């Protein structure tokens, strides 16, 4: 009796990567790519109709960290997901894992690593990681989580907006004292996690370096 194929869906915002993965994975005798897309909305619609076993989801989509939102939606629908990225900053990976990703494969990993991860997720629910991906996962585990309100205030501060004016730019508006509360909370989260943070400027630099400012609409998970 022939073993059933593992049905795979691929989302990546680079068309050549989508086509390359589709071709390479289809060469594997036990894998079949049933969805390949560069657009998240199109991807989700097609996945809902084809019901693949595993979804391979790029985390940085058209300049925004939106892949974790796709992972979150697919996880709710019962589709197992692998995070797939060239971005080794901790925030994208942390958000994806919290959204329900069952493993991380880096774009720098050999293609057989992706195929192995797909098979492992199908068989055990979790995927092994390369040495580099394991390091990325370890770093991501230590990143403090920021609320949507904290992130919104930090974005405004990073643009040079004075604290007394930040709240007026938010929807709904908040008071300057509430803005200070959110900024202080962000500072405390990093200090408690052991980061050498002395002031808000250092918080802003750290948040930007780790990838929080690329989180798309809706903020953090």
pLDDT in tens, 67-81: 999 999 999 999 999
Reported as a pLDDT band with limits 50, 70 and 90, residue 9 is very high
Question: Is the pLDDT confidence value at 2 over 50?
Answer: no
Q: What pLDDT is recorded for position 220?
A: 60
Q: What pLDDT is recorded for position 199?
A: 87
Where on the phi/psi map is residue 194: left (φ > 0), alpha (ψ -120 to 50), or beta? left
CA neighbor of 102 nearest in space, from 38, 149, 54: 54
Report, as an integer, the average pLDDT of 155-169: 95
Spatial separation of the C-alpha atoms in residues 125 and 158, rounded to whole Å: 40
Question: Is the pLDDT confidence value at 1 over 90?
Answer: no
Question: Is the pLDDT confidence value at 203 over 80?
Answer: yes
Report, as an integer, the average pLDDT of 91-118: 95
Reported as a pLDDT band with limits 50, 70 and 90, residue 64 is confident
Q: What pLDDT is recorded for position 121?
A: 97
Q: What pLDDT is recorded for position 217?
A: 54
Q: What pLDDT is recorded for position 216?
A: 61
Mean pLDDT for all residues in the chain: 93
Reported as a pLDDT band with limits 50, 70 and 90, residue 98 is very high
Report, as an integer, the average pLDDT of 130-137: 94
């Amino acid at each position: 009796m022939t073993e059933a194929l593992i049905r795979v869906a691929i989302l990546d915002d680079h068309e050549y990567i989508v086509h390359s993965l589709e071709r390479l994975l289809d060469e594997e005798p036990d894998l079949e790519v049933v969805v390949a897309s560069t657009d998240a909305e199109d991807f989700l619609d097609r996945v809902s109709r084809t019901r693949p076993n595993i979804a391979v989801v790029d985390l940085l989509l058209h300049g925004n960290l939106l892949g974790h939102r796709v992972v979150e939606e697919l996880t709710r629908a019962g589709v197992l997901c692998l995070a797939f990225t060239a971005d080794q900053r901790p925030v994208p990976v942390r958000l994806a894992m919290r959204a329900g990703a069952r493993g991380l494969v880096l774009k720098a990993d050999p293609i057989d690593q992706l195929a192995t991860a797909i098979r492992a997720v199908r068989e055990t629910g979790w995927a092994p990681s390369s040495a580099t991906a394991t390091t990325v996962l370890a770093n991501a585990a230590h990143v403090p989580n920021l609320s949507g309100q904290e992130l919104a205030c930090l974005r405004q501060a990073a643009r040079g907006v004075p604290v007394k004016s930040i709240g007026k730019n938010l929807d709904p508006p908040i008071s300057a004292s509430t803005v200070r509360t959110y900024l202080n909370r962000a500072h405390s989260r990093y200090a408690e996690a052991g980061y050498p943070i002395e002031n808000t400027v250092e918080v802003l630099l750290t948040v930007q370096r780790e990838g929080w400012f690329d989180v798309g609409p809706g903020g953090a998970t």
